[in-house]
Copies of this chain bind each other. A is one copy, B any other.
């Protein structure tokens, strides 16, 4: 149904056919990614949460967001390809780390950063999640 490997392969062929590999340096792709992230955030900048909810139910906003989200993903996948990074493995590793960093009993209902969670007086955490 469309795996990351398939996306990465299709993007690689797309670039090769157009002789665009020389443009696809890590720096350039990171810049392109930041640019697309900016376009995505710009879609939502003047809307309230309620307006976004209503607009998503209607459709056009969702289509524009999907388009921008796709652009972000494509540059992200391409960046990881040229840097030889396994993006999906990195994502799962990050979730695993976040599960240790943000134990349910400490993190529930608050958005404190993990580095601040450890300072709570009632911390019951054993301290294993100190990375980063």
Contact B46 A41 (CB under 8 A): no
A104 within 8 A of B: yes
Task: Give chain A's interface residue range (CB within 8 Å of chain B).
Answer: 35 or more
Complex contacts, A35 vs chain B, CB 8 Å? 38-39, 41-42, 45
B27, B38, B99, B102: the one within 8 Å of A27 (CB): B27
Contact A41 B30 (CB under 8 A): yes
Tell me the residues in window 1-33 of chain A with beta carbons closer than 8 Å to chain B beta carbons: 1-5, 7, 10-11, 14, 17-20, 23, 25-28, 30-33
Which interface residue of A5, A52, A72, A108 has the most chain B CB atoms within 10 A? Answer: A72
Cα–Cα, bound, A21→B46 (Å): 11
